[in-house]
Amino acid sequence: METCNWYADGKWLEPAGGEYFDSDNPYTGKAWARIARCDEKDANIAVQAAYRAFHEGPWGRMTPAERGLMLRRSGDAVARHADRLAEVETRDNGKRRVDIRPGLTSWLIDSFYYYAGMADKFEGAVIPTGRDNILNFTRPEPFGVVAAITAWNSPLLIAIWKLAPALAAGNTVVLKPSEFASASTLELMRALEDADLPSGVVNVLTGFGTEVGAPLVEHPLVRKVSFTGSVAGGTRVAALAAAGVKSVTMELGGKSPQLVFDDARLDDTVHGVCGGIFPPAGQSCIAGSRLLLQAGIHDAFVARLVEVASRARLGDPNADDTDIGPIANRAHFDRVLGFIERARADGATLACGGNAVDPDDSGGWFIEPTIFTDVDPESELARAEVFGPVLAVMRFDDEADAVRLANATDYGLAAGIWTEDHRRALELANRIEAGTVYLNNYFDACTQSPVGGYKQSGYGRELGWEGLRAYLQTKSVWLSTARRIDAPF
Ligand code: NAD
């Protein structure tokens, strides 16, 4: 079993309390690593290190172009360590290897390169005040110490979406990965040691939300909090940050609808809908977990969908031919099964799946791709984020009905619209309350395009220019060129 310490001020450290917790491999259900269980004392060490690095170290004196070079070197370091990063992410949270290598690791590298290019391109402005003898200009400035708290479903990607823009803007960062999947973030830190960032610029604090996440958010020297996780976790973190009047970005959950009209291309749409939820076993924030079908195509569509979903191969996330990997942790596996049991009790019709399985007898946590039809729009399955391979199917009659159902949710992360009528697609895209809308596709994203939520799916944006601005605050500077200042009275 590997022992993983935590990282601050350029050093690997044992936790102050001397305790470790197990990290499990979801394919075997067995512990494979011990992770440092940090507490408030460790949080203070990490934040102090980040604060010193911001105010006293070479980081704050670097030119923007030099910072950009550091980010480029970080991207190069990730490229050199890509195989190991992929191996650890798959072992620790069960993400399929085919999704990580080369796809996800290339994305990580690109994100560093993209924000490396931005480090010396954000500019202030000269403001047309209309006053004589006054020069008023703005300076975009970093916040200082950023607390970046991440979820377990895609630890590396979520970490880099925060880390790269925060560093490009000139901040220093304390990363706090989920207690359910910390190992790949620690591996990322090992990779970044190769980039020779000054000590304290990036720190990784491991442990539980209440034990170390909360003291991190509350620490008075932290000025910006970027959080990815559940609505429950996010509201607690936002409340803690509000008490210290800290800037916050919130990337929370979703219950994203896929609207399918009767003119949609059947097979493409079935593949798009399946691909929008099942490959990561539904463990994606933008999973299209509500399928809204126009009444006329409902039965034929469900029949084809069940056929395609039922032939998915569950198994080893390292194998090239695995379609769906395991559920990332035991607690979540039980939680997803609970949703399935309650959906049955609520009267939804099980069209396929619904069972826990162990396809390779490996001891892993697998759940079949599960489709429920006749789901009551008021039921738990229609409203709550399951975050598992469970699709809730409902039917609608016309556009107005479809929009009403699509927006009947507290969430607003993403939506898909499938129709050959492009006028309708664009019109409905405007009426759907979601941060991302896909028309005749689903699940795409890239570093250049902002992502984020409407309603309870969060606020603020990651990626693109907006992702950088989230880590900057604006200072307005007034210079008087007057020869004398008039007496006020
Ligand atoms: P979670 O809220 O349980 O935990 C997220 C992180 O917050 C963890 O690191 C946890 O330790 C920490 N945390 C929890 N309580 C805390 C507290 N009181 N103070 C400080 N830190 C605390 O979420 P999760 O189960 O890890 O992640 C799954 C959720 O994340 C899903 O809802 C999913 O949709 C969402 N998610 C959103 C996005 C997005 O970009 N919108 C991306 C991925 C995942």
Question: Could you tell me the CA-to-CA distances from 275 to 96, 279, 284, 315, 324 in Å, in that order?
Answer: 14, 6, 11, 17, 10
Q: What is the DSSP letter of 198?
A: P
Q: Which candidate in 4, 274, 285, 352 is catalytic? A: 285
Atom of ligand 1 minimally distant from the CA of 332: 25
Tokens describing residue 302: 């469900």
Strands 436-439 and 414-418: parallel
Bridge partners of residue 290, in order along the sequence: 257, 392
- Please give the distance, rounded to the nearest whole angstrom, from the Cα atom of residue 137 to the centre of ligand 1: 38
Please tell me the predicted confidence (pLDDT) of residue 303. 98
Beta strands in 145-195 (DSSP E): 145-149, 172-176
Question: Could you tell me the CA-to-CA distances from 152 to 93, 159, 328 in Å, in that order?
Answer: 7, 10, 8
Strands 145-149 and 172-176: parallel
Whether 251 is in the pocket of ligand 1, judged by its Cβ within 6 Å, is: yes
- Please give the distance, rounded to the nearest whole angstrom, from the Cα atom of residue 385 to the centre of ligand 1: 13
Tokens describing residue 126: 């000269």
Tokens describing residue 151: 């979820």
**Helix, strand, or coil here: 271?**
helix
Whether 165 is in the pocket of ligand 1, judged by its Cβ within 6 Å, is: no
Q: What is the CATH number of domain 2-252+457-476?
A: 3.40.605.10
Pocket test for ligand 1, best of 285, 289, 339, 411 (most atoms within 8 A of CB): 285
CA atoms of 141 and 149, how far apart (whole Å)? 22
Atom of ligand 1 minimally distant from the CA of 178: 9
Pocket test for ligand 1, best of 178, 204, 386 (most atoms within 8 A of CB): 178
pTM for the complete prediction?
A: 0.97
- Please give the distance, rounded to the nearest whole angstrom, from the Cα atom of residue 158 to the centre of ligand 1: 11
Fold exhibited by the domain 257-439: Aldehyde Dehydrogenase; Chain A, domain 2 (3.40.309)
Whether 68 is in the pocket of ligand 1, judged by its Cβ within 6 Å, is: no
CA 182 vs. chain centroid, Å, equals: 14
Please tell me the predicted confidence (pLDDT) of residue 378. 96
Please tell me the predicted confidence (pLDDT) of residue 296. 97
**Helix, strand, or coil here: 426?**
helix
Could you count the other beta carbons within 10 Å of the beta carbon of residue 268? 12
Q: Which of 141, 149, 140 is nearest to 46 (CA)?
A: 149
Question: Could you tell me the CA-to-CA distances from 434 to 144, 181, 362, 406 in Å, in that order?
Answer: 31, 28, 39, 10
Yes or no: say if 4 and 34 are a contact pair by the CB < 8 Å rule.
yes
Whether 179 is in the pocket of ligand 1, judged by its Cβ within 6 Å, is: yes
Q: Which of 281, 277, 279, 276 is nearest to 356 (CA)?
A: 281
Pocket test for ligand 1, best of 37, 89, 149 (most atoms within 8 A of CB): 149
> Is 285 labeled as catalytic in the residue annotation?
yes
**Helix, strand, or coil here: 340?**
helix
Whether 153 is in the pocket of ligand 1, judged by its Cβ within 6 Å, is: yes
**Helix, strand, or coil here: 90?**
helix
Q: Which candidate in 251, 368, 385, 462 is catalytic? A: 251
- Please give the distance, rounded to the nearest whole angstrom, from the Cα atom of residue 251 to the centre of ligand 1: 9
**Helix spans in 311-386 (H):** 330-345, 380-383
CA atoms of 73 and 69, how far apart (whole Å)? 6
The single residue listed with the structure tokens 């799916």 is 457
Please tell me the predicted confidence (pLDDT) of residue 150. 98
Whether 386 is in the pocket of ligand 1, judged by its Cβ within 6 Å, is: no
Please tell me the predicted confidence (pLDDT) of residue 103. 84
- Span between the terminal Cα atoms of the chain, in Å: 76
- Please give the distance, rounded to the nearest whole angstrom, from the Cα atom of residue 85 to the centre of ligand 1: 21
Please tell me the predicted confidence (pLDDT) of residue 101. 85
Atom of ligand 1 minimally distant from the CA of 240: 19
Same topology for domains 2-252+457-476 and 257-439, yes or no? no
pLDDT tens-digit profile, the chain (489 residues): 899 999 999 999 999 999 999 999 999 999 999 999 999 999 999 999 999 999 999 999 999 999 999 999 999 999 999 999 999 999 999 999 999 988 888 999 999 999 999 999 999 999 999 999 999 999 999 999 999 999 999 999 999 999 999 999 999 999 999 999 999 999 999 999 999 999 999 999 999 999 999 999 999 999 999 999 999 999 999 999 999 999 999 999 999 999 999 999 999 999 999 999 999 999 999 999 999 999 999 999 999 999 999 999 999 999 999 999 999 999 999 999 999 999 999 999 999 999 999 999 999 999 999 999 999 999 999 999 999 999 999 999 999 999 999 999 999 999 999 999 999 999 999 999 999 999 999 999 999 999 999 999 999 999 999 999 999 999 999 999 999 988 999
Residue 3, judged by CB atoms within 10 A of its CB (0-12, 13-18, 19+), counts as exposed
- The domain segmentation of the chain, as residue ranges, is 2-252+457-476, 257-439
For residues 209, 212, 213, 215, the Cα torsion angle rounded to the nearest 10 degrees is 130
CA atoms of 79 and 205, how far apart (whole Å)? 23
Whether 149 is in the pocket of ligand 1, judged by its Cβ within 6 Å, is: yes
Q: Which of 173, 59, 70, 174 is nearest to 116 (CA)?
A: 70
Whether 452 is in the pocket of ligand 1, judged by its Cβ within 6 Å, is: no
Whether 254 is in the pocket of ligand 1, judged by its Cβ within 6 Å, is: yes
CA 470 vs. chain centroid, Å, equals: 15
**Proportion of the chain in helix, strand, coil states, percent, rounded to 5:** 40, 20, 40
